[in-house]
Amino acid sequence: MAEEAEQPYPEITYGAEVPEKLTTEKMEKKMKKIVKEGGKRGVEIEGAADMGGLQFFCTTMLEPGGDVDWLYESMRAMNEKSDPAEEERKGGSGRIGKMLISTDQANSKVALVAYCPPAKHGELKADQWMKDIIAALGGSESDFLFGDAFTAKAEIKNDPDKGLFVLKLKDNAITESINHLKAKGLFPDKIEDSDDDFIWGDDDFPSADAEEAPAVEEDAAKAEGYDAAAAAEAPVEEDGEEPYPEITYGAAVPEKLTTEKNEKKMKKIVKEGGKRGVEIEGAADMGGLQFFCTTMLEPGGDVDWLYESMRAMNEKSDPAEEERKGGSGRIGKMLISTDQANTKVALVAYCPPAKHGELKADQWMKDIIAALGGSESDFLFGDAFTAKAEIKNDPDKGLFVLKLKDNAITESINHLKAKGLFPDKIEDSDDDFIWGDDDFPS
């Protein structure tokens, strides 16, 4: 596009002042981290717009830790006009509307910040967008903290009596935000229209300091057979619960992952996966859960490490352990991870044996690849229990990792809905279903 045809960088009004507690000398280091994360994310969002076109972006932020005021400062940093002369550019995404989400480590509250650029105010204003999202999530008027046409703040806390759980709210906020945009004609329904000109948020950009996972070649073994009839006749424990499932992992652990050099990396993978497994199991206890879609940081976009994350999540918990791990083998999963350069997205699917009559991991993965616009060669391994895939950036095919990551979660949920394994929130209550918190703080 010629320079004269481009709109000038928007003049943005920030109606919420910076709280004094954020400007103290004690908080200087924290503010630098917030600005660094936000500035870097802004450049990535601007880059996504250049690649494929983007109007709105929904994403989670790590550094704010569930604090809505820090999250607002993240948004400022993302919108700051970039200086092309800078060695390391920051911000630059002021033309792009946003819904930002952050949770605290205890998963007791979720902070939300909305931003609408002035060019979109005729169609959408931040305050009304936020109020509608709060209502869609089951929150109350008191959760709305500030809002005007440009920006808005909200905070929703766990409230079991109202069915509010942060593990559920975080991904719900992204889904409901996108639904709201669709209703306004600002985001296309993928089934009815191509979304080549729209990208939405990569909800877990690896931090600049994250360890890069080594490249690993696929080395999968053939899966063992699954006897559906035997599974259907599996014994049931006296309390009515099924025994912990016997899981077959058809993909062998590549030798490269088992070397002494990778011992430290394996420990990190198992730790993150084990912790996530306990959190998923807890979510099931809170509100009921059949399937979970989530992103993982430690694998760094490597599909073999991501598969090991899944094993750790499914490992049977030892209740005698001081720090429990795993325990979510009854819960189906779609796991997603990207590399730091956002050049590839790794996907791992898991279906527990009790669900094989309705869904198998290999077919689920193949259907998701197709829905994302990938090809047969992206499918690396699969059987009824587990499946692996990797999709790389391919501008000629309209494949961009910034887009694929959240699309993978959305398409996975849509596939579950089509199978009757996940309710349509509009048509049915989802009190008995929770899906993935895609960025558990480490």
* Closest C-alpha to 22, from 98, 73, 81, 95: 73
Report the distance separating Cα 143 and Cα 173, nearest Å: 14
Q: What is the per-residue pLDDT for 348?
A: 98
Residue with tokens 């309390």: 239
Q: What is the per-residue pLDDT for 172?
A: 84
Residue 131 makes CB contacts below 8 A (sequence gap 6+) with: 144, 147, 152
What residue type is assigned to position 267 of the chain?
Answer: K
End-to-end CA distance of the chain: give it in Å, rounded: 42
Q: Would you give the distance in Å from CA 117 to the centre of its chain? A: 24
Q: What is the per-residue pLDDT for 225?
A: 35
Quick one: tokens of 231? 């599974």
Question: What residues are paired with 242 via a beta bridge?
Answer: none
Farthest CA pair distance, the chain: 74
Q: What is the per-residue pLDDT for 242?
A: 61
Q: What is the per-residue pLDDT for 189?
A: 55
Residue pair 429/384 in contact (Cβ under 8 Å)? The answer is no
Report the distance separating Cα 156 and Cα 173, nearest Å: 11
Question: What residues are paired with 140 via a beta bridge?
Answer: none
What DSSP element (H or E) covers 113? strand 109-115
Quick one: tokens of 238? 């006296």
Alpha-carbon torsion (74, 75, 77, 78), positive or negative: positive
String of b and e for 28-46 (b: at least 16 CB within 10 Å)?
eebbeebbbbbbbbbbbbb
Q: What is the per-residue pLDDT for 432?
A: 30
Residue pair 104/55 in contact (Cβ under 8 Å)? The answer is no
Residue with tokens 């694929």: 404
Backbone angles phi, psi at 49, to 5 degrees: -65, -40
Report the distance separating Cα 266 and Cα 261, nearest Å: 10
Strand order in the sheet with 386-392: 291-295, 332-338, 344-350, 386-392, 379-382
Residue pair 297/442 in contact (Cβ under 8 Å)? The answer is yes
pLDDT in tens, the chain (442 residues): 334 455 689 999 999 999 999 999 999 999 999 999 999 888 877 766 555 456 888 888 889 999 999 999 999 999 999 887 777 788 999 999 999 999 988 888 999 999 999 999 999 999 999 999 999 999 999 999 999 999 999 999 988 888 888 878 887 888 898 889 888 888 655 433 333 333 334 443 433 333 333 333 333 333 333 343 333 334 434 444 568 999 999 999 999 999 999 999 999 999 999 988 887 776 655 545 688 888 888 999 999 999 999 999 999 988 777 677 899 999 999 999 998 888 899 999 999 999 999 999 999 999 999 999 999 999 999 999 999 999 998 888 888 887 888 788 889 888 988 888 875 543 333 333 333 444 343 3
Strand-pair category, 344-350 with 332-338: antiparallel
Report the distance separating Cα 428 and Cα 297, nearest Å: 33
Residue 342 makes CB contacts below 8 A (sequence gap 6+) with: 44, 202, 205, 393, 401, 402
Quick one: tokens of 314? 């499914």
Q: What is the per-residue pLDDT for 424?
A: 55
Report the distance separating Cα 203 and Cα 337, nearest Å: 10
Question: What residues are paired with 335 via a beta bridge?
Answer: 294, 348
Q: pTM (2 decimals)?
A: 0.51
